[in-house]
Chains A and B, each alone.
Chain A
Amino acid sequence: MIRGLYSAAAGMIANFTRQETISNNLANLNTTGFKQDLIAIRQAAEVPEARQLSGLFEVPYPTRPGPTPLGVVGTGVVTDPVAVDQTQGDVRETGNELDLALVGPGYFQMQTPEGQTFYTRDGRFSRDGVGRLVDAKGNFLMGDDGPIRVAQGSVQIDPDGTVLSDGEEVDQIRVMSFQPDTPLKKIGASGFVPVDPSAPPTFVDQNTVVQQGAIEASNVDPNKAVVEMMSAARSYEAAQRMVQLNDSVLERAVNDLGRV
């Protein structure tokens, strides 16, 4: 009985986590290069259930001592680790020469001013005071020769990432990709780092095209998100009803059972 109360509560907690994930996706409906989070909920561990009172009132099971086993019972629901949906977002033309969209599975390699590396698909760059290509936070876009620097003149970027300034080749953007199924985690500001910082070797991706004058929009589908949200809210409500039901059954057990 008490176990049912906890199972129902687990249903509430899991659906609330689901709701938080969906609302974060919806908040990032217009965030360039955003990849939505997917959260799965699944059945929690099953535990063996046995006839609790067997030792007192019944003849014990002939071959085994202890309570009579009845089978298994679930203990509610848990959320699985959040996965990132890496599907391509819509590519939107902006016409700005330093807006870059990646078409394909790669990432821009970025470096913070402190020297830390991360990866992003948010390709809205501008130039800093000395002409390096930077994102909105001042992190550097990396090329084969370190931060890409175009001090003067117009910038042309070829589909393979070659940066040309006034027709002269300056550098090549490092478009990196990870081995399939490498888990990535988000660090905010559309940045990703591999979950395991040491392991996965990254390599320059040949299948990804850099498109100049465009950005990759968020891959959140608001229709799906709203339906998911309704589903989460209703599942939460159902679990809440189960908590209340368990509560009222317990109430009867406490108050009415002993009454003659």
Chain B
Amino acid sequence: MLGAFRGPASGLIANQGLIDVISNNLANINTPGFKQSRVSFQDLLYERTPPVPDFSSPDENQLTDRIGAGVKIAATPRSFEPGALIQDNDPLHMAIQGEGFFVVRTADGGAAYTRDGSFTRDAVGRIVTRDGDVVLPETRIPADARDIRVDRNGLVFARLGDGTGDDVEVQVGEVQLARFTNPQGLASAGGNTFLATENSGPALVGYPGDEGYGTIAGGSVEGSNVDMAEQMTQMIVGQRAYAFNARALQTIDQMLDLANNLRR
């Protein structure tokens, strides 16, 4: 009997989860390379409840009152739709146009993947993310490099020398891209990075501009792909669904109160 609370309670929890996910999406509306999540709900198991005995029914087994136990969040897959390109003319900022992720080496030595191309140089000239993770393959840009630019194939060019006139542009580095069979299977590792999992499949590393890989837009970053209008709509949907479940919970509470007060 008290199990009746489970249905609406699970609805409250699941819709709270939806609001949480939307809040996180909205909080990251200006985070470069951020990919919004969506929530998928699933109904829970159905169980047979003991029916009121009906002696007129010929076959007792015909009574299959199966009452559902409510709802849960099955998954919060990310949408890997591209975000808008934001040009900021920072020479080391890169945006991927098309499929792929930048490959970076995290502090613990493992590989992580990101779409956030707001890179800088560290003290020894390596291209690093804002968290200091080294972009692979590791490159060292000489300290005297000037006029750095990144072409669409991810090659990093710069002019070297003291600027006396005849320095030529040389390649000083490159970036690679990784693709996944199932990007939605990637695990979020915070700091805009993702880790490969069994679900995502192994990283398929290639060069920007290769078949199936995106190209690089230098001097730009990829904006967040959070769609404000969609999130606000979803928020209203979640809020309303929450209210309906709260009402159901309240009604069941009132009914049980009546049962409790049967004997005055």
A binds B: yes
Seen from chain A, the residues whose Cβ lies within 8 Å of a Cβ on chain B are 10, 12-17, 19-24, 26-32, 34, 37, 39, 44-45, 76-79, 81-82, 95-96, 122, 124, 126-131, 136-137, 151-153, 185-190, 195, 222, 225-226, 229-230, 232-233, 236-237, 240, 243-244, 247
B21 in contact (CB, < 8 A): no
**CB<8 Å pairs between A and B, sample of 23:** A24-B69, A24-B70, A26-B11, A26-B241, A28-B70, A28-B71, A30-B14, A31-B41, A44-B54, A77-B52, A82-B67, A128-B182, A128-B185, A128-B199, A129-B197, A129-B198, A131-B201, A187-B45, A187-B46, A188-B42, A195-B64, A226-B244, A229-B248
Distance between Cα atoms of A233 and B245 in the complex (Å):
15
Point out the residue from A78, A128, A186 that lies within 8 Å of B68, measured CB to CB: A186
Task: Check A136 against B75 for contact (C-beta < 8 Å).
Answer: yes
Task: Check A244 against B43 for contact (C-beta < 8 Å).
Answer: no
Task: Check B248 against A22 for contact (C-beta < 8 Å).
Answer: yes
Task: Check B262 against A19 for contact (C-beta < 8 Å).
Answer: no
B195 in contact (CB, < 8 A): no
Query: What are the 5 tightest A-B residue pairs by CB atom distance, in nearest-first order?
Result: A27-B11, A45-B56, A129-B201, A24-B68, A23-B248
Point out the residue from A12, A14, A37, A78 that lies within 8 Å of B259, measured CB to CB: A12
Instruction: With CB as the reference atom, state the residue of chain A lying closest to B184.
Output: A126
Task: Check A152 against B248 for contact (C-beta < 8 Å).
Answer: no
CB distance from A96 to the nearest CB of B (A): 7
Determine the interface band of chain B, counting residues with CB < 8 A from chain A.
35 or more
Residues of A within 8 A of B8 (CB): 23, 26-27
Residues of B within 8 A of A195 (CB): 64
Task: Check B67 against A24 for contact (C-beta < 8 Å).
Answer: yes
Point out the residue from A10, A122, A189, A190 that lies within 8 Å of B52, measured CB to CB: A10
- Chain A interface: which of B101-109, B154-162, B249-257? B249-257
Instruction: With CB as the reference atom, state the residue of chain A lying closest to B251.
Output: A233
Task: Check B18 against A126 for contact (C-beta < 8 Å).
Answer: no
B237 in contact (CB, < 8 A): yes
Task: Check B245 against A26 for contact (C-beta < 8 Å).
Answer: yes
Residues of B within 8 A of A82 (CB): 64-67
Seen from chain B, the residues whose Cβ lies within 8 Å of a Cβ on chain A are 1, 4, 7-8, 10-11, 14-15, 18, 40-46, 49, 51-56, 62-71, 74-75, 77, 79, 81, 181-182, 184-185, 197-202, 212, 237-238, 240-241, 244-245, 247-249, 251-252, 254-255, 258-259, 262-264
Point out the residue from B15, B41, B52 that lies within 8 Å of A32, measured CB to CB: B41
Residues of A within 8 A of B18 (CB): 30
Task: Check B43 against A188 for contact (C-beta < 8 Å).
Answer: yes
Task: Check A81 against B65 for contact (C-beta < 8 Å).
Answer: yes
Residues of A within 8 A of B41 (CB): 28, 30-32
Distance between Cα atoms of A191 and B127 in the complex (Å):
49
Task: Check A96 against B79 for contact (C-beta < 8 Å).
Answer: yes
Tell which of B10, B42, B43, B197 has the most Cβ of chain A within 10 Å.
B43
Residues of A within 8 A of B7 (CB): 20, 23-24, 26-27
Residues of A within 8 A of B66 (CB): 37, 82, 185-186
Distance between Cα atoms of A16 and B7 in the complex (Å):
13
CB distance from A193 to the nearest CB of B (A): 11
